[in-house]
Structure 1
């Protein structure tokens, strides 16, 4: 065995027999020798996932400042410093630092996803080396090692099983399979998906029952878990639609401000002949007026409020920008088990020899009726049904119990479904077992594919009940139970019904009985060969959540496409999809089919197919990328480590909080506390509301900046005294952003918000309509402020009074325009529009004393050059505000009556 080389290329281990694997890896029944282990450890390295190369903390912190929003904040801080406003400078600089620190912390959390995957590797392993069994650190495993598995063990490396006894492995984290998988030592087809490679046990999965021995075929980075880790390291986080739009908006605004400021400076000094120092202060005033200092702060507050509202809907946000991204989602890719479904196996159909019964109710709640041809029936009137239900309850090792108002199953979920069926029919497990005590049993074994129990009824007569795979139970039966007793077995009938039931996506289980005892004193396999009477076929499924059905319908009405991507079988996925109105009348595509498609073909497929089954991590990642390449904004749900790459790549990754792995949660932007798809739909609604509020704030804020800028530009063009000083401009911006604008962050969602289609991913933050609205309101504000300034100056008033009038005119116009801004198109001339947001009224109430202090407080007059105003002056200021309010409402009225304009306004 020593120094024999291993194969240069990795074979498809699941296609090889145990003997071929032993020969290829030179691994005998006594395991590897100590010397050979040392050589292979040197060649392959330890069985662990290498930590990624990471940037140092200082570099990570500095890179957080490489953000257009922070550039805007820092630019405003520099201007404040140039003007000597050190308090404003300190506040703005602190805002930039806080934003950078938040980004620094979030980046550290994202990197924890890789740590979570590495933590899934088993720390210990039981191996056979030098002919002896020993326990070692799992990091010391090498290809060719013989590993012994038992119930409760975490599989320490990828293994090809060479011996197995009743092995069942929980692979949901890796494959998405909703139930533990029964393992064997048989080979599988080369293109078989991970979930169908029954002769393999993969690193990180959990043994829930049985024992096995396997040969290590992959360690560390070459395991399936390691491949997922490599995929995660290669995926870059995408910028959210809002951040991309704000980045573009910020660049354009910065260029515009610089360009206009430069032209203004040149115009004033070379053409008008103003001194350069005077023009410089005018240009600073212009820049201060144009820069939206409040935008980053309001964005953060609005997103944070969205986080709080989503948390109340069981959606926990891990990355702040994901709040808004949810509002722009065009496709939601959802896992099936536990998200769209209850993750509670339920009997929905019972097929007897002469009748087919439908069972009502869903999940483990023991409530539901039995119906035949659409009418409710009494179980006692149908002896084959009654006896089949009794058989399911007695031939059973699970337990059904109520805990804190919730019904739960202890044991196998399929057996639990039979107990719930019995409870619906009035068969209490406790009473049934007391009346028909168990004498002996044969536990389920994969090679026999059935479970059997021996009981005595209340008269002391013996009964043997058996449940298992339909084809195996059929072999044991000679008769079937009809309404009038036993009759000849109609094999063709049962096969047809089995095919029909399976086509509905239901898992099949057969129940049979024999009214006699075993040949000996114990129940043995020899007693199970023949003489049984077939009672029923039971169709079991994990049913969809009722609230998920409604949520999917809400998404469809909102123009959001819902796709199901699951590791489960195609038939089951298609059946559940049909009940949820996902992919109705369309085929389901499997992972094997995805594997042979090129990227262009896959992009075409994802447009028309909504159900994808038996999907591996690579398939899920390719599906998300294909949709994004096709221009979609994708939300992806998942719970297993197999979902982590797709969750990280998606525009919004959504992990399950109850049954999700830490790797999935750390890769996601949002975690569902209740694992419920309906919470995603609620979060989408909140995300749309957040984006609406951001748009409303921008539509409110930009006219303030625009009006101020136009006042300054007009003064330069017409050689007027500057109507607003730089300090007064900063005062207006602080008051309108920090008090008035903040109120729009609390605006509730509009009623028809989920009746809209998602906004196009490439849509600019400011549409042509937005530009028009900003220009219109800016001109109205300029008209009011500049008009009052010139009126006062022409009537011989002081420049201080004229400027005080101009400042108050702008702020008053903002107060009225804040009411207009509560809705982009709808009228606010009603009770809801004027009083529906108490924060708007509170903001106005806070702004009024601030403006009175600006006007009358001596220390404020000393800082800003303001002066007292008369009652007549305040009426003029009030008129300037009403001008904006009335014209803005008239503009909305005209647009609402012009369908094309209304569509353009909605984007």
Structure 2
């Protein structure tokens, strides 16, 4: 019990209002259901409990986001190098480093500026007015002014604006799919349920954010704002820490390692220089050069652009990425937890089977290629079954493609009638409506009375058990076959068989009395049964097979019944064998026995929102990279927690879309597979470009370090290295990120989520390539000295040799076993464009006065260019020879 204190004493708020009788609840809340609260009492309660609104967590300010861009070890190191440059009056070098830091910060700031707005969407979901009884008068008030104890009047079409305990209900049905995952409207009544009833079983309650689909009623407010079930979802979202993606964590770890290594190397080189008596300014300049050389300044830019390019490619395939890091995360996905309703299914009830005494009809999913068209005209029982389903109906449907209004199951019946050329308007013209008996929750039947050429026609539909048990017989070839116990049992078994296949079953019956009776639900003749289901999407089975081939497990997580979940799971290719379908109430016991049991489960049914969140965390704790799909409010916390949350774009709620990292614009599960393929390609491309960047930067580090250790003049100056990194790091690396990838990328299992961007093999290749590049640079320096080049000319030759050697190095990144001339590198048009642009940016500065002065270069002579050409191509030629020699002796690796 929760106490809310007023000036005149505490008000007790019930923790399990669904279990209390209406009179006990109203007494506890201090309200009369005939009078309602007074305006004064309502205002006091509002001051005590607050507004009926879902409070949003304060979003990060733009200044905080901008400041966040400078909180990395790489920035600290480069900022220290800039500080040293300014201190020793090297203004140009210091300014250039600051400019690079600014560019990186602007890009990072832009990518993080869009904050997640899940809570704001939840607030908007409740922005309505509501009819409330106060001082015996029903009037409309803003929904945010509701307080516990208010008596609220509701009817079909209205949104529920607070949690209510029903005190009056007439034919009341509610769409709770966005909160519980239940795929059909839930019947509601005033009867109390057990204290331990799950959310989807609380028939005496209405919940904030759901919608009334049929009937009317009154309810007493039991919870508002964050205390509602919708508010609890909001709390879950606020508590979830999305954290960094695997790629972000790996890049951060790599950056930290680079900074640590750079500090060690710079300290050792500086100490050796000072011990050997070298000029202090020269040593400091060398330390700055080492810091600049070791850090791939272009890596954050290129990684961001590579992910953005993946995002563009995914958008072309109807997958909208809300967070750039989600592009790579998809490629590492090991398990997909998918909602059923609206994700694996159409989120539209459809007639699946019709059963009469003449036989069974399985309905095609694609009218007009529908069995009903060819059967209904010739089959008397089938024709009458559809006639009853269409006449005894409160829904409206203009045509078979329209959405319709009313109960989804009744809309499905009208759509089935239209597929057999039976429109409700035509049938009502033939059988004018005399009277309607609305659906009665106690009898679980609805009836309509019509006039016909033969007198009176009573059409009845409802739950199969009461209709079969009250029917006198079944229609067969135009005549009634009287029920005996065996026949009645047989039809009840038919009902059980359809229900076991996950179908919602309705029975239809008729009666032809001589005159209109007072009670239409007696002496009925059963016409047949109709099985309905929210069917699986046509593209889902193939998409799930693709996931399984890629080593990705697909697990259904739904709030729906076990039989329905098992039926859909069977249809889409999930494992539905005994023990592989688990109810939510069994989940906590399973987790206590250990997470390995999770790997044997294909379907979780009757799962609450908090349990979805528990599931995501359990898989993550087991080391999985989790993608979570969904479209409802109930999915939002799990979407936020998952490594990659995937929402439906067409049917998804605002809350789900805001919580997700990826939105499927076409609502197709198969689009996820395409996105996963793209994610794997992006990781392979990023691995390739990181290897390229590090081999280039490590070669610069070797050139500077060896020169200082050997007491040689600096062959490269800090500003030259900075310019070199911005040119050769950014453009070729970006071109590598644009690669189309391997076609068989989905035929391999997911990589180990803990796998580093660069493994031992990649690091060995990086070091060997860097040694080749630095050796070529020293060779050019030595040849220049031998040819008598002065210091400026030697520096120019060294700069151009290393620059072009790095540029040609991209061709060393082809996969082993591919042709030298035809491979993913030579076939990349972006790469050729990058090489052309970089050639201009590297060759022109020595001939442009200001640039030559800034970089301390001289215009190269023909002899100098020959030295550059020979020295820069030597590493490429040597590496290609080695690769040719090893071709066929090792497996391909990206």
After alignment, is 155-164 or 81-90 more displaced? 81-90
2:329 maps to which residue? 325
Name the CA shift for 1:734/1:499 in 2 (closer, same or farther; >3 Å): same
1:102 maps to which residue? 110
Counterparts of 1:860-871 in structure 2, within 5 Å, are 860-869=851-860
Counterparts of 1:314-393 in structure 2, within 5 Å, are 314-361=318-365, 365-369=367-371, 378-393=375-390
1:839 maps to which residue? 830
Shift of 1:869: 4.3
Shift of 1:716: 2.5
State the alpha-carbon separation in 2 of the partners of residues 697 and 311 from structure 1.
Answer: 23
Shift of 1:295: 0.4
2:186 maps to which residue? 181
The 8 Å contact of residues 589 and 609 in structure 1, kept in 2 or not, is answered as yes
2:138 maps to which residue? 133
State the alpha-carbon separation in 1 of the partners of residues 327 and 823 from structure 2.
Answer: 26
One of 576, 588, 603 as aligned partner of 2:581: 588
The 8 Å contact of residues 361 and 369 in structure 1, kept in 2 or not, is answered as no
State the alpha-carbon separation in 1 of the partners of residues 204 and 364 from structure 2.
Answer: 38
The 8 Å contact of residues 780 and 867 in structure 2, kept in 1 or not, is answered as yes
Shift of 1:257: 0.6
1:373 maps to which residue? none
Could you report, residue by residue, the CA deviation over 1:157-214 in whole angstroms, capped at 9, with x for unpaired residues?
A: 2111111011122222221222222211112233322111110011222223221111
After alignment, is 477-486 or 767-776 more displaced? 477-486
Shift of 1:265: 0.9
Counterparts of 1:347-746 in structure 2, within 5 Å, are 347-361=351-365, 365-369=367-371, 378-401=375-398, 408-428=403-423, 431-455=426-450, 462-483=456-477, 485-489=479-483, 490-514=487-511, 516-517=512-513, 519-520=515-516, 526-530=519-523, 532-585=524-577, 586-594=579-587, 596-597=588-589, 599-601=591-593, 603-746=595-738
2:282 maps to which residue? 278
Name the CA shift for 1:661/1:289 in 2 (closer, same or farther; >3 Å): same
State the alpha-carbon separation in 2 of the partners of residues 600 and 897 from structure 1.
Answer: 50
Could you report, residue by residue, the CA deviation over 1:329-388 in whole angstroms, capped at 9, with x for unpaired residues?
A: 2221111111111122222222222523322225xx543336xxxxx9745454322332
- Residue 497 of structure 1: SS of its match in structure 2? helix
The 8 Å contact of residues 369 and 424 in structure 1, kept in 2 or not, is answered as no
Shift of 1:241: 0.5
- Residue 841 of structure 2: SS of its match in structure 1? helix
- Residue 348 of structure 1: SS of its match in structure 2? strand
2:752 maps to which residue? 760
State the alpha-carbon separation in 2 of the partners of residues 629 and 562 from structure 1.
Answer: 17
State the alpha-carbon separation in 2 of the partners of residues 429 and 32 from structure 1.
Answer: 45
Name the CA shift for 1:581/1:164 in 2 (closer, same or farther; >3 Å): same
Shift of 1:682: 1.9
Shift of 1:152: 3.0
State the alpha-carbon separation in 2 of the partners of residues 454 and 672 from structure 1.
Answer: 46
State the alpha-carbon separation in 2 of the partners of residues 804 and 219 from structure 1.
Answer: 73
Could you report, residue by residue, the CA deviation over 1:582-632 in whole angstroms, capped at 9, with x for unpaired residues?
A: 2332432222223x5375436344222121122212111111111111111
Could you report, residue by residue, the CA deviation over 1:240-264 in whole angstroms, capped at 9, with x for unpaired residues?
A: 1011111111111001011101101
Name the CA shift for 1:881/1:579 in 2 (closer, same or farther; >3 Å): farther
State the alpha-carbon separation in 1 of the partners of residues 776 and 545 from structure 2.
Answer: 49
The 8 Å contact of residues 501 and 539 in structure 1, kept in 2 or not, is answered as yes
State the alpha-carbon separation in 1 of the partners of residues 514 and 697 from structure 2.
Answer: 92
The 8 Å contact of residues 208 and 229 in structure 2, kept in 1 or not, is answered as yes
Shift of 1:790: 1.1
Shift of 1:133: 3.1
One of 804, 809, 812 as aligned partner of 1:812: 804
Shift of 1:736: 0.6
State the alpha-carbon separation in 1 of the partners of residues 315 and 775 from structure 2.
Answer: 45
The 8 Å contact of residues 70 and 96 in structure 1, kept in 2 or not, is answered as no
The 8 Å contact of residues 358 and 381 in structure 2, kept in 1 or not, is answered as no
2:256 maps to which residue? 251
Name the CA shift for 1:367/1:311 in 2 (closer, same or farther; >3 Å): same
Could you report, residue by residue, the CA deviation over 1:773-807 in whole angstroms, capped at 9, with x for unpaired residues?
A: 10111111112221122122124333444333333
State the alpha-carbon separation in 2 of the partners of residues 56 and 352 from structure 1.
Answer: 65
Name the CA shift for 1:780/1:429 in 2 (closer, same or farther; >3 Å): farther
Q: What is the Cα-based RMSD across aligned positions, in Å?
A: 3.0
Name the CA shift for 1:104/1:682 in 2 (closer, same or farther; >3 Å): closer
State the alpha-carbon separation in 2 of the partners of residues 318 and 820 from structure 1.
Answer: 35
After alignment, is 183-192 or 394-403 more displaced? 394-403
One of 244, 255, 266 as aligned partner of 1:261: 266
State the alpha-carbon separation in 1 of the partners of residues 538 and 84 from structure 2.
Answer: 57
Shift of 1:228: 2.0
After alignment, is 352-361 or 532-541 more displaced? 352-361
Please say if 1:118 is aligned against 2:123.
yes
- Residue 788 of structure 1: SS of its match in structure 2? helix
- TM-score when scaled to structure 2? 0.91
- Residue 274 of structure 1: SS of its match in structure 2? coil
- Residue 584 of structure 1: SS of its match in structure 2? coil
- Residue 119 of structure 1: SS of its match in structure 2? helix
The 8 Å contact of residues 827 and 889 in structure 1, kept in 2 or not, is answered as no
Name the CA shift for 1:396/1:171 in 2 (closer, same or farther; >3 Å): same
- Residue 537 of structure 1: SS of its match in structure 2? strand
State the alpha-carbon separation in 1 of the partners of residues 437 and 817 from structure 2.
Answer: 71
The 8 Å contact of residues 451 and 467 in structure 1, kept in 2 or not, is answered as yes
Unaligned runs of 5+ in 2: 1-5
State the alpha-carbon separation in 2 of the partners of residues 64 and 834 from structure 1.
Answer: 33
The 8 Å contact of residues 433 and 448 in structure 2, kept in 1 or not, is answered as yes
- TM-score when scaled to structure 1? 0.90
Q: Give the length in aligned residue pairs.
A: 881
- Residue 244 of structure 1: SS of its match in structure 2? helix
After alignment, is 632-641 or 796-805 more displaced? 796-805
- Residue 337 of structure 1: SS of its match in structure 2? helix
One of 308, 311, 316 as aligned partner of 1:307: 311
Name the CA shift for 1:103/1:558 in 2 (closer, same or farther; >3 Å): same
State the alpha-carbon separation in 2 of the partners of residues 147 and 676 from structure 1.
Answer: 39
The 8 Å contact of residues 817 and 888 in structure 2, kept in 1 or not, is answered as no
1:234 maps to which residue? 239
